[in-house]
Amino acid sequence: MCHRKSSHPMSVVNGAVDHRVLPALSLGNSRSGRIQAYLHLCIDTPLQAGLPSFFRHWVATSFGVTEDLVSHPVGGIGRSNAINSSSCNDCEVIRRDVCIIGGGAAGTYAAINLLQEGYSVVVIEKTGRLGGHTITYIEPTTDTPLDFGVTLFEDSPETIDFFSHLDVPFAKVSNGGGQMERVDFETGEIVDPYPGNVSEALERYGDILRQYPYLLEGWNLPEDVPEDLLMPFGEFVEKYDLGAAVELISIYSQGVRNWLNYPTVYLMKFVSLDMLRALETGFLSTARHDNSELYEAALAELGDDALLDSVVVQACREDDELHRLRVESSGGKSWIIEANTTILAAPPTGQVLDGLDLDDFESSLFSQFIYGHYYAGLVRVDGCPEGVQIVNRGSDRPYSLPLLPCILMMYPTAVPGVMAVGYGSEEPMTEEQVKAAIVEDILGLRRAGYDVDDPEFLAFADHSPFEMSVGRKAIEDGFYQELKKLQGHRNTYYVGATFEYPGSSAIWRAVDRLLPSIMESIDRPQKSKL
């Protein structure tokens, strides 16, 4: 399925960087940048160590600059994050067309599709597996796979193509079915459904969504953002009498912070027209009910081009120049990645940004994001009724939405006595804090008449940061118009839920739209440093 040959051989070099290939320092094409690149080529010691006085004088005279600039070239450049061989003597150098940071739904899909197009890639993933929020636990007594992260996919062309390419069988899954109990976990009170006709409310909601077709593809907001998209979701619900639909919207947008306070556009992205269609027509899942199969197959295809348990600790990225990224594994191994293009396929916050050489434009955007915290687990708990979903409702709260932090929902799995649990919080919590809170919430079901035993945790996952967002004023001031300008900035591209919404199929469609630009950047000739 390759349409072209890679522009660079897929090679791994053991030992120090070969300086016969121009190293990609964090430099521009200014005079000072050319001097520093020249000095780096001339000597094999860190530039900060200083230079002999006669050499400083010769370079300053030849280039017409002060000796101080030659003595301290790094300080004269502004942003500097140079990577050179002397700082990584035992590193392997891996040369690829593209370096992808993040091996979740977005990064894995981008990698496999670029391989299909004949490009070479390397994926840097901080955990020991690919798949991101897709997590599967194998219950040991029955050998049954239990998905407790991503459980369903849209029935869409990109989903089917991805499954088919990786030779992972899939099956149609109908929505709904089973019994639902609404319980206030704080009081133990059984809560009635919110009054109103759910179908009619969803129909009104769908009619409103159709007025904004641009929400189906990325964050292509107009310059003057409509008020309906900016207002808090609680006001939007009241304006259009959508109270009966809030429960369903909240269930399919678990992981956000306080639903009613969000700018409405985020809920419209999350529970979109595509989601409403899927609720009517059904979803897809793997035929063997093991969604991690998809990413295990992708890992097999990537082979050594997936560096697991690894993070970027230093980077040099410049427009039309070879990117160099230093990567370290949890086992102590180091690599230097050389690539034409970098793709960030992870939420742009926290540790993932620590190793990147962010400029002011990138930092000014990423620093504005806020997000929710979502945790998922599997618990063995006797006493819950078989086949019953238990949804946490706030008996005395608007639209019966629960007060975070709390369990959002518990639902049965294919193994009797094992329940999947989703827990949400506006603030970060440790694993121990979340587990203790889940136990307390579950034992609180005794007040509702459930004779539950102490739960036993089988698996746990932290899906934070979840649903990256900004406030109303930032959206009004053109935040998302500026965010779009990041695509291709410094030959770096961005994919994932932050740039679409947290849904695998929607993320894959977004990658498909961006791939032509990514491939164009790979094929663009690299500039010389001198």
Residue with tokens 């006595």: 417
Tell me the pLDDT of the chain averaged across its residues: 86
Can you give the pLDDT at residue 81?
55
Q: Please, which residues bridge with residue 314 across strands? A: 326
Average pLDDT value for residue range 206-224: 97
Confidence of residue 19 (pLDDT cuts 50, 70, 90): very low
The answer to whether residue 12 scores a pLDDT higher than 80 is no
Domain boundaries, the chain: 175-281+370-464
Residue 200 pLDDT > 70: yes
**What's the pTM value of the predicted model, to 2 decimals?**
0.84
Residue 181 has pLDDT above 60, yes or no: yes
**pLDDT digits over 187-196, tens only?**
999 999 999 9
**DSSP letter, residue 129:** S
Q: Tally DSSP H helices, then E strands, for the chain.
A: 18, 20
pLDDT score for 177:
64
C-alpha to C-alpha distance for 382 and 412, rounded to whole angstroms: 12
Beta carbons within 8 Å of 177's beta carbon, 6+ residues apart: none
Q: Facing residues of 183 across strands?
A: 190, 392
Residue pLDDT, tens place only, 408-426? 999 999 999 999 999 999 9
Res. 51 pLDDT band, cuts 50 70 90:
very low
Split at pLDDT 50, 70, 90, the class of 47 is: very low
CA separation for the pair 416, 80 (Å, rounded):
57
Give the span between the Cα atoms of 81 and 326, in whole angstroms. 11
Distances (CA, A) of 438 to 259, 320, 431: 21, 50, 11
Please report which residue ranges of 327-423 form alpha helices under DSSP H: 351-354, 360-366
CA 111 to chain centroid, in Å, comes to: 14
How far apart are the C-alpha atoms of 527 and 530, rounded to whole Å? 9
Q: What is the mean pLDDT of residues 482-499?
A: 97
Average pLDDT over residues 357-386: 96
- With tokens 């003597």, the residue in question is 89
- Minimum mean pLDDT range among 76-80, 195-199, 201-205, 467-471: 76-80
Q: H-type helices in 43-125, by residue range?
A: 53-63, 67-71, 105-116
Q: Using CA atoms, how far apart are residues 114 and 242, in angstroms rounded to an integer?
A: 43
Structure tokens at 264: 């409405």
Give the distance from CA 333 to its chain's centroid.
25
**DSSP labels, 112-168:** HHHHHTT--EEEE-SSSSS-TT--EEEETTTTEEEE-S---EE--HHHHHHHHHTT-
Range 381-412 burial, b when 16+ CB lie within 10 A, else e? beebeeeebbbbbbbeeebbbbebbbbbbbbb
- Res 77 pLDDT > 80: no
SS3 state at 180: strand
pLDDT, tens digit, 9 for 90 and up, residues 436-484? 999 999 999 999 999 999 999 999 999 999 999 999 999 999 999 999 9
Q: Which CATH number fits domain 175-281+370-464: 3.30.830.10, 1.10.10.10, 1.10.405.20, 1.10.150.120?
A: 1.10.405.20
Would you give the DSSP letter of residue 280? H
What's the pLDDT at 58?
42
| Structure confidence by residue, pLDDT tens digits, 53-74 | 433 444 444 444 444 434 333 3
Query: Pairing between strand 306-307 and 170-173?
Result: unpaired
Measure the CA–CA gap between 5 and 12, rounded to whole angstroms.
18
Tell me the average pLDDT across 395-414. 97
Share of the chain above pLDDT 70, in %: 82
- Reported for 350-355, long-range contacts at CB under 8 A and 24+ positions apart, including other chains, are 350/465, 351/126, 351/311, 352/101, 352/102, 352/126, 352/311, 352/312, 354/313, 355/311, 355/312, 355/313, 355/314, 355/315, 355/325, 355/326
Is the model's pLDDT at 320 over the cut of 70? yes
Task: Tell me what the mean pLDDT of segment 363-385 comes to.
Answer: 96
